[in-house]
Structure 1
Amino acid sequence: MSTSHSTTGRADQSLPVSALREAVTGAVLTADDAGYEGECTGHNVLRAVRPTVVVGAARTEDVVAAVRFARAHGMPVAVRNAGHQVVLPDTGDWLMVTTGRMDDIHVDTRTNTVTVGAGARWRQVVAETVKHGLAPLTGSAPGVGVIGYTLGGGIGPLLSRRHGYAADQVRRMDVVTADGTLLRVTPDSDPELFWALLGCKGNFGIVVAMEFAVFPVTRFYGGGLYFRGEDTARVLAVWRTWLQTIDEDTTTSVAVQRLPDTSGLPDVLRAAFVLHVRVGHLGPADEGERLVAPLRGAAVPLLDTLEERPFEQVGEIHRDPVRPAPVWEASIGLREFSAATAEAFTALTGADSGCPLSLVEIRALGGALDREPSVPNSVPSRGLPFVTLAIGVAEAAEAAPVRDYLAAYAEGMAPWADRRNIMNFLSPQAASTPTEMRALFGAEHHARLAAVKRRLDPANVFRLNHNVEPG
């Protein structure tokens, strides 16, 4: 399952890389250059890749030059920013564009919109919007890149059930297409491309800028309840019933976690086996306190972090790890989380399961995530009620137990599996064939995507991803 590759294609001297360096303000690196390894390694160290050429773009013109160079030399192009963009290496020559240097952010308080560059991360955006009492549809991890997250739909821990997918709030995108053309894409300028981009990630070009709506939210009630892992069945029974009582102002998930023994955790959580119940609520603190009372009564929490918080603490709901690690993962869309589903989940993750995974979570979706936005998009998970994500941490040489258990977990949850899934949660191995991609999007939507692909990228230059082939 590892995506790491050692192939770098031709030697530097057989490509006119010097000419590319003259055209690019940012970095142009090959395998022999200092900085190449760092440019090719992201948060998941197992996904380190070795492109023939990597362009660390600092401006839109760099992206244009990189794509035109790749096209001239018959090379496919991959793009990566900070998370949520899977890069599947090619066996021949290929070029990768990294966008972390393009992190401009502009907040427009007249229209309550934000415009970001391709490399902006959510923590940077939040730091700017909170100055104006505004909040974006950020993800659970503040360090994730905005554009990759949004092109994959984008679900967060607080605002999503009220306002939908992050993709639903996009107003325009600036896109470099496969022939090196820069397009400004809006619902009016190219409705089909706008629809396709928002949900199918990097299949149609490199999005170098994006404008999206933000909302007047300054505070929330939220955090988490950490229960003993042995209390999972009892707490899940309460959580399942409690879900029927909440409205769109409340977002929640649960995660069985086997936590490391690290100084970055509270003492009570170090090397602990826990069930983490996460809650984000948009109402006042007293309303939140009443709301979570049934959860607090489900068992005795080891740690209770639920409280009123400023919006900039939205990352405290999930407390996702921030250190790079060798991560193996699998996700499944679930059409229900019934008593039988919960029983199977507990058997697969509980105290007697032998589960070696670091985290296995269930996210409750619904609310605005079920509704088509005013301008439709291609997000494939619309209407999906639940999704489960399982993660294990292991170096490649020691990963067999983790990989085997991910497969066993998927098999155990298969009776409740839905063809739909969260695009951002797909592992490199998921939806890796045309048949699987067609199943993910459904035949009608997949045909529309393939038609856009045929128009804008008939040679499938952008294929090192969860790929839609030209139709």
Structure 2
Amino acid sequence: MTEMLRPGDAEYDQELAGFQIAVPRRPDVIVPAASAANVVEAVRYAGEHDLPIAVQSTGHGVAVPFEGGVLVTTHRMNGVRIDAATSTARVDAGVRWGAVIEAAAEYGLAPLSGSFPGVGVVGYTLGGGFSLLGRRYGLAADQVTAIEVVTADGELRRATPDTERDLFWALRGGRDNFGIVTALEFGLVPVTRLYGGSLQFGTESLATVLHVWRDWAAEMPREMTSSLAMVPMPDLPMVPEPLRGKHVAQIRIAYLGDAAEGERLVAPLRAAAPLLGDTLAEIPFTESGSIANEPPFPHGYRADNATVSELNDTMLDAILEHAGPGAPVPTVVLLDLLGGALSERPEHPGVDWDREARFTVRALSVVDDAGMVAIKAAHEKLFDALKPWSTGKLLTFVYGDSDAGTEASKVYSPADLRRLAEVKAAVDPANRFRLTHNVEPARDAG
């Protein structure tokens, strides 16, 4: 029998801990899975005892608070295999991107990983996967060729474009509503180096830098993936002195071209305002995590987002007003340039999103700095101001909200939500996988 931990057991709290610490969870049972067989056993146990079930790898994308049920942890499932002949990777459920980046680099390849190598591969990919290489190669989910998943009946299935076709579609964008993924197989791309890093500007330059980056982004080739972060830096010794206590604008660059052309393309950004920091250089892809240089330690946060059709002056003014230096709640804002391959439909798309959107606007606030109620109110003011130009929302960037279980109905199109509900009814009619951004099974399916 697979090991099971219950409240009061010595290792329970340690096994429950994850990167996101603001969303309380207290399952009746934690199953530390080391293999697909352990996952099968856990899902069957949940079914026999009529319990809901959730899954956690790194705990970055914890969706909703809950009490009771079964939590399967997969961080022990850490196998990585690279097939250089086919430029593909096979990873187990608990693998983080850093391990794939290092393994693929030995063969001159790279995955469509994101800004932080500590994020789990499976959760990131099932949410779509917005990569540092996204404008050139599309979503990480578009590269997936096979998914091994344990569904609510306790069966291990292999979903591909040719087998379990509806399940294969639903998992790539529908996240953990349909089962527990035990392994992913996906394509890699021939990338070893990029021109990347960040430019950092001070508080007095925020408005100028926002406008310059917005205008610059419209002219960029698809080899250029870029985002702009507005970050309230704490006045603490571990923050570099030039940035300490300032509200910093950080332009992040990942360019798949030679360094000389990269220098030419970013010249207007360097000239926008006085620089506080400049880390742009040609770097190996194994150092891609240094571009955003995100904090590696667990913390509590709430985040929301919108995809938008443009970034006009009214929108930029609203971003500065509701999330700038004078905002009531300290907020990190990220503006991501879309387009390029992100606008193109792949041969086997997952759950759709607005591929005509031009940017995302993301807002994240640390719960230590303000209460969840105040943060939610501040975020709502920002996204209400952007609503006239909003085209949708990305589920993968919704974190920490107590009512996040309602988000699915706000994210998916009516047609996609209907199809997701039909797939749910086929593989999880009892809605056992409901401790997430839940898609309820269609009641009239079949």
- TM-score > 0.5 by shorter chain: yes
Alignment of 1:424 with 2:396, yes or no, is yes
The residue number in structure 2 matching 1:383 is 356
Provide Cα deviations, 1:258-304, integer angstroms capped at 9, x if missing partner.
11234443222222221111111000100100000000010011001
1:437 alignment partner, one of 408, 419, 426: 408
Note if contact 2:95-2:121 (Cα within 8 Å) is conserved in structure 1: yes
Pair 400,442 (structure 1): closer, same or farther in 2 beyond 3 Å: closer
SS in structure 2 of the partner of residue 167 of structure 1 = helix
Aligned-pair identity (%): 41
Contact kept in structure 2, 1:86 and 1:466, CA below 8 Å: no
Mean CA deviation greater in 61-70 or 383-392: 383-392
Separation of aligned partners in 2, 1:71 and 1:342: 50
Which one of 328, 338, 361 corresponds to residue 334 of structure 2? Answer: 361
User: Is 2:432 the counterpart of 1:461?
Assistant: yes
* Other structure's SS at 1:408 match: helix
CA separation in 2, counterparts of 1:196 and 1:132?
31
SS of alignment partner, residue 268 of structure 1: coil
Q: Which runs of no fewer than 5 residues in structure 1 stay unpaired?
A: 1-22
Q: Distance in 1 between matches of 2:69 and 2:309?
A: 39
Does the 8 Å contact 1:333/1:421 carry over to 2?
yes
| Greater Cα shift, 301-310 or 35-44 | 35-44
State the Cα deviation string for residues 225-252 of structure 1 (Å, max 9, x = none): 1001221111122111111211110011
2: CA distance, partners of 1:381 / 1:98: 32
Aligned length: 442
Aligned partner of 2:274 in structure 1 is 300
Are 1:104 and 2:79 counterparts?
Answer: yes
| Alignment of 1:163 onto 2:163 | no
Cα deviation code 1:394-422 (max 9, x no counterpart): 3398455434322322233233222x222
Partner of 1:9: none
**1:81 paired to 2:33:** no
Closer/same/farther in 2, CA of residues 227 and 396 from structure 1, 3 Å limit: closer
What corresponds to 1:341 in structure 2?
315
Q: Which residue of 2 aligns with 1:215?
A: 189
The CA distance in 2 between the partners of 1:466 and 1:349, in whole Å, is 26
Q: Structure 1 residues 445 and 394, CA, compared in 2 at 3 Å: closer, same or farther?
A: closer
Moved more, 341-350 or 177-186: 341-350
Given the superposition, is the C-alpha separation of residues 248 and 430 from structure 1 closer, same or farther in structure 2, using an over 3 Å criterion?
farther
CA distance in 2, matches of 1:280, 1:395: 31
Kindly state the Cα deviation for residue 447 of structure 1 after the two structures are TM-superposed: 1.1
Matches within 5 A, 1:125-204: 125-157=100-132, 159-204=133-178
Conservation of the 8 A alpha-carbon contact between 1:333 and 1:422: yes
Match of 1:6 in 2: none
1:95 paired to 2:66: no
Contact map agreement 2:20 2:60 (CA 8 A) in 1: no
Picking from 321, 327, 345, the partner of 1:372 is: 345
| Equivalent in the alignment of 1:13 | none
Return the letter of the residue paired with 1:429: D
Gaps of 5+ in 2: none
- Secondary structure at the aligned position of 1:47 is classed as coil
User: Would you say the 8 A contact 2:25–2:66 is kept in 1?
Assistant: no
| Cα displacement (A) at 1:388 | 1.4
> Matches of 2:115 and 2:370 in 1, distance apart?
30
Separation (CA, whole Å) in 1 of partners of 2:34 and 2:130? 28
Q: 1:431, CA displacement in angstroms?
A: 7.9
CA deviations over 1:312-368 (Å, ceiling 9, x no partner): 1111221111111121222222222122211221222334x2343241111111111
Contact 2:23 2:65 (C-alpha < 8 Å) held by counterparts: no
Superposition map of 1:30-49 within 5 A: 30-49=6-25
Q: How far has the Cα of 1:467 moved from its partner? A: 0.9
Residues 381 and 117 (structure 1 numbering): CA distance in 2 closer, same or farther, change over 3 Å?
farther
Q: Aligned partners of 1:431, 1:173: CA distance in 2, in Å? A: 29
State how far apart, in whole Å, the 2-side matches of 1:325 and 1:85 are.
Answer: 12
The answer as to whether partners of 1:331 and 1:425 remain within 8 angstroms in 2 is yes
Match status 1:258 vs 2:232: yes
Amino acid at match of 2:86: T
153 and 49 in structure 1: CA distance in 2 versus 1, 3 angstrom threshold: same
For 1:134 and 1:407, the matched residues in 2 are separated by 41
Other structure's SS at 2:365 match: strand
Partner of 2:47 in structure 1?
Answer: 71
1:86 Cα deviation from its structure 2 partner: 2.8
Give the secondary structure class of the aligned counterpart of 2:4. strand
C-alpha distance in 2 between matches for 1:40 and 1:264: 29
- Bigger Cα displacement from structure 2, 330-339 vs 368-377: 330-339
Q: Which residue of 1 aligns with 2:305?
A: 331
After TM superposition, the structure 1 stretch with the greater mean CA deviation from structure 2, 389-398 or 304-313, is: 389-398
- Structure 1 stretch displaced more, 93-102 or 263-272: 263-272
Q: What is the TM-score normalised by the length of structure 1?
A: 0.90
Q: Secondary structure at the match of 1:62?
A: helix
Query: SS of the residue aligned with 2:356?
Result: coil
CA spacing shift, 1:155–1:456, aligned 2, 3 Å? same
Change (3 A) 1:264 1:220: farther
Return the alpha-carbon distance in structure 1 between the equivalents of residues 399 and 76 of structure 2: 26
Equivalent residue number for residue 57 of structure 1: 33
Indicate if the aligned counterparts of 2:178 and 2:433 stay in contact, CA closer than 8 A.
yes
Q: Which residue is 1:450 aligned to?
A: 421
- Whether the 8 Å contact between 2:303 and 2:400 is mirrored in structure 1 is no
Corresponding letter in the other structure for 1:385: R
1:418-439 alpha-carbon deviations (Å, 9 max, x no partner)? 2x222210134388466x5344
1:470 maps to 2:444: no
User: 2:63 touches 2:404 (CA, 8 Å); kept in 1?
Assistant: no
Aligned residue for 1:115, secondary structure, equals: strand
